[in-house]
Structure 1
Amino acid sequence: MNTTMSLDRAPVTAAPATGRIADDKAMLRAAAELTRDLVQPRPRLYWADLIASAVVGYGALVMAIMSTSTALSVVAGIVAMLGLYRGLSFIHEVSHMKHALLPGFRKGWDALVGVPMLTPSFMYEGVHNLHHAKTRYGTAEDPEYLPLALMKPWTLPLFIVISALAPIALIFRYAVLSPLSLLSPRFRAMVVERYSALAINPRFRRRMPESDFARQWNRIEMAASLWAITLVTLAATGVLPLRAFLIILGVASGVAVVNQVRTLVAHLWENEGEPMSVTAQYLDTVNVPPPALLPALWAPVGLRYHALHHLLPGLPYHSLGEAHRRISAALDGASPYHKASYPGLPGLVLKIGQSTMMPRNRSPI
């Protein structure tokens, strides 16, 4: 859902000149030429990965609910969170893929993960592509960008903590707002504009869906609404025990928090709002390549190569590792390509934390 919180910026002494970085043509050419044979998605891998993630996630969730051992429930809950988080991360692929090359995958993803987790595909499709638009990235029109590095230090923990409430907000969105929005076109427009996008920019307003996308949206939203109402009803009547309901909420909150931490370090968040070149966008984004192992858990489904993805948004997730190896080997150490790679999560969190503590000369907004 689109957040409505306001995050203040700190006073600053010098603005990062991210928007003034010219494109490095050698890097862009190498990225395009070296990866032409990597653009085809592998349907069997997509389906196997998604189904395995769902089986592990839901299986571990059932174990967490059924177990009488607190320790086993906690461990199973963590496994469930990681499995469902990986499955949920495929929404990023769904928003980019050519659906003719992976027929039925969007429907399968919505059925297995999107609707059960109350984050259906329409909340990202039509939103995420705006983040990749060259003239929108890092500007006020980018739904997935806030200059977090230029804001006050207290905004970072708030940015993470507020995500823990996402499951409750999503249940309210689909169990309450969806049915009520059918009663008033004006209220429906507000729900679509403000509460139907996975966005972090509080100023973002999405447009009403049209034609085929509107019909697809309505079908999926009806399924999500019925599921949310059913879940609330089962919990309220005691058919679903309170302990089980709280475990489900806890696992879902864990998914939201881990994803928010990943979002926090996915970019450097140093752009003040001016349009940026592709190279500048790349340098404001983050790769966490091997040998680091933990990014496979907190940045799954290719998200550890987020900067490379901004160079080549059409590459399927399973091709990004090979693409990174080829481009890294082809470009010398002076290329800006190597400047977007970082060793791991702690250093990235420290970097953005230190950025918020620097004195600045811009007025708070």
Structure 2
Amino acid sequence: MATDAARPAPAPVEIPWGPTELAAMRRFDVRQAHRELRGLFRPRMGVYWTDFLLSWVVAVVAFWATGPLGYLTVPGLLAFAVSVLAVFRCFAFIHEIAHFRAKRSFTGFRVGWNVLFGIPMMVPVFMYDCHGEHHNKRLYGTEQDAEYLPLARMSVWSSVRLLVLPVVLPLFGPYRFGVVTPVSWVVPRVRSYLYHNLSSLKIDLEYQGRLPRDDEKWNWRLQELACLAWMAGVLTLVLTGAVSVNRLWQWAALFATVAVLNSFRLLAAHRYLGNEEEMTVVEQMMDTVNHPRNRPLTELWAPVGLRLHALHHLMPGLPYHNYGEAHRRLVAALPEDSAYRLTESPGMIASLSRLVRESRGHQKAGTLLASRPERGIGTKERAAS
């Protein structure tokens, strides 16, 4: 058997764009696409507040109604399903906040969302500050992107794990804010672990977050304290009998269901063909998926504009309420064989099926990654020979 030193280096693993895709990518003009969308880049805060507050009210009412209707009755289960979808829509606004946090007009919305939703769900806004890396031309799809794994080059079970792990996520908030956070206030050594490992919304579990900057320390700590106070308040209400323990189980089931639904959305949002090297804006767009069909249904599992994810990666500064108009303009202005049109998928099932096929294709070709790549080694050098 040949030793590792004697084994020949594997052939480079390139992103498997087909001839049609490559030709379309070469022709695609990002500047022309941008010109077609003039006048659509200004967020309307009235739309944000109305959408979020209506979704929040529906979520609260449906969550409360589940108890009186009966947790395991048909009406109770329907109310629970409504609460899941409404909470999921509320949660999706953190994505818009991450993109527009520098705008002064978003300051009030950021605070309002955090107080009404982020803190109670123990997902404060600072935990999504890492999202900018997912749109950075140098970092998208690399090991510094918390929201990306080369899943099309990995075992299908790597994708399945992303659907299973969210089941235990209801434990994350109590552990992060109820245990590690107070310990980190008195043990500085724990603080590094807290911010590097437990302070980013991510699918790459090996991703290392950053410490807060000097101007962020007290803001982050205040949000942590608010989450801890919320937990203490809820626990007090349960221990005194003011709130039934069944509500805690309901919240855990709600959180887990929303997390699983979001994992399905994440798997359908990209093709995950990257090899952990830089991609151009057009390559990022082609590695991302639009789901323009059947909007009423698609909005349920990909809310707040996330159904047109390729459009979002092409134009990350576009507010979600203008996605529909932007998509119509691009479809009308660009030829049918445009690279933008090639990002379309009929639906979630079709996108998930393609991810499975591409993963199995790499397995048959012998280029499947045996496990998550180790840090500091390029994917091209890690591909199985």
Q: Common fold, TM-score beyond 0.5?
A: yes
List aligned pairs for 1:250-265, cutoff 5 A: 250-265=253-268
After the TM superposition, which of the residue ranges 178-187 and 82-91 deviates more from structure 2?
Answer: 178-187
CA deviations 1:31-83 (Å, max 9, x no partner) are 21011200111111110111001000011000012323622211111000111
| Alignment-derived partner of residue 33 in structure 1 | 35
Compute the displacement of 1:220 (Å): 1.1
Distance verdict in 2 for CA 1:13–1:26, change over 3 Å: closer
| Alignment-derived partner of residue 53 in structure 2 | 51
| Alignment-derived partner of residue 379 in structure 2 | none
Q: TM-score, normalised by structure 2?
A: 0.87
CA deviations 1:320-348 (Å, max 9, x no partner) are 11111101110101210100011111111
How far, CA to CA, are the matches of 1:186 and 1:59 in structure 2? 42
Compute the displacement of 1:200 (Å): 1.2
How far, CA to CA, are the matches of 2:357 and 2:238 in structure 1? 44
- Report the residue type matching 2:117 in the other structure: V
List aligned pairs for 1:10-21, cutoff 5 A: 15-17=14-16
List aligned pairs for 1:118-137, cutoff 5 A: 118-125=122-129, 127-137=130-140
After the TM superposition, which of the residue ranges 347-356 and 238-247 deviates more from structure 2?
Answer: 238-247
Higher RCO (CA 8 Å, separation ≥ 6 residues): 1
- Report the residue type matching 1:335 in the other structure: S
How far, CA to CA, are the matches of 1:162 and 1:12 in structure 2? 33
Q: Tell me, yes or no, if structure 1 residue 113 matches structure 2 residue 112.
A: no
Distance verdict in 2 for CA 1:187–1:37, change over 3 Å: same
After the TM superposition, which of the residue ranges 59-68 and 89-98 deviates more from structure 2?
Answer: 59-68
Distance verdict in 2 for CA 1:13–1:67, change over 3 Å: farther
> Is the 1:57–1:79 Cα contact (8 Å) retained in structure 2?
yes
Distance verdict in 2 for CA 1:218–1:194, change over 3 Å: same
Distance verdict in 2 for CA 1:26–1:151, change over 3 Å: closer
Compute the displacement of 1:12 (Å): 11
How far, CA to CA, are the matches of 1:167 and 1:298 in structure 2? 20
| Alignment-derived partner of residue 341 in structure 1 | 344
Structure 2 gap segments, 5+ residues each: 1-9, 372-385
CA deviations 1:139-166 (Å, max 9, x no partner) are 1111111011111122222210111211
Q: Tell me, yes or no, if structure 1 residue 315 matches structure 2 residue 321.
A: no
Q: Tell me, yes or no, if structure 1 residue 222 matches structure 2 residue 225.
A: yes
> Is the 1:235–1:242 Cα contact (8 Å) retained in structure 2?
yes
CA deviations 1:289-317 (Å, max 9, x no partner) are 13443111000000011111111101111
After the TM superposition, which of the residue ranges 293-302 and 214-223 deviates more from structure 2?
Answer: 214-223
- Report the residue type matching 1:364 in the other structure: A
| Alignment-derived partner of residue 209 in structure 1 | 212
CA deviations 1:116-136 (Å, max 9, x no partner) are 1111100002x0001100011
> Is the 1:12–1:360 Cα contact (8 Å) retained in structure 2?
no
Q: Tell me, yes or no, if structure 1 residue 99 matches structure 2 residue 98.
A: no
| Alignment-derived partner of residue 147 in structure 1 | 150
Q: Tell me, yes or no, if structure 1 residue 361 matches structure 2 residue 366.
A: yes
> Is the 1:27–1:331 Cα contact (8 Å) retained in structure 2?
no
| Alignment-derived partner of residue 64 in structure 1 | 66
> Is the 1:292–1:343 Cα contact (8 Å) retained in structure 2?
no
Compute the displacement of 1:214 (Å): 2.2
List aligned pairs for 1:153-302, cutoff 5 A: 153-235=156-238, 238-302=241-305
Compute the displacement of 1:318 (Å): 0.3
Distance verdict in 2 for CA 1:21–1:142, change over 3 Å: farther
How far, CA to CA, are the matches of 1:190 and 1:297 in structure 2? 36
Compute the displacement of 1:351 (Å): 1.1
Compute the displacement of 1:215 (Å): 2.3
> Is the 1:193–1:208 Cα contact (8 Å) retained in structure 2?
yes
How far, CA to CA, are the matches of 1:21 and 1:193 in structure 2? 38
Distance verdict in 2 for CA 1:233–1:176, change over 3 Å: farther
Q: Tell me, yes or no, if structure 1 residue 79 matches structure 2 residue 82.
A: yes
Distance verdict in 2 for CA 1:72–1:291, change over 3 Å: closer
How far, CA to CA, are the matches of 1:65 and 1:205 in structure 2? 40
> Is the 1:27–1:337 Cα contact (8 Å) retained in structure 2?
no
How far, CA to CA, are the matches of 1:159 and 1:13 in structure 2? 27
Distance verdict in 2 for CA 1:232–1:261, change over 3 Å: farther
- Report the residue type matching 2:366 in the other structure: N
How far, CA to CA, are the matches of 1:42 and 1:143 in structure 2? 29
How far, CA to CA, are the matches of 1:45 and 1:305 in structure 2? 18
Which structure has the larger Rg?
2
How far, CA to CA, are the matches of 1:151 and 1:238 in structure 2? 49
Distance verdict in 2 for CA 1:151–1:236, change over 3 Å: farther
Q: TM-score, normalised by structure 1?
A: 0.91
CA deviations 1:246-287 (Å, max 9, x no partner) are 111111111111111101111001111121111111010011
CA deviations 1:215-269 (Å, max 9, x no partner) are 2211111101211233344445544322221111111111111111101111001
How far, CA to CA, are the matches of 2:298 and 2:41 in structure 1? 23
How far, CA to CA, are the matches of 1:291 and 1:72 in structure 2? 26
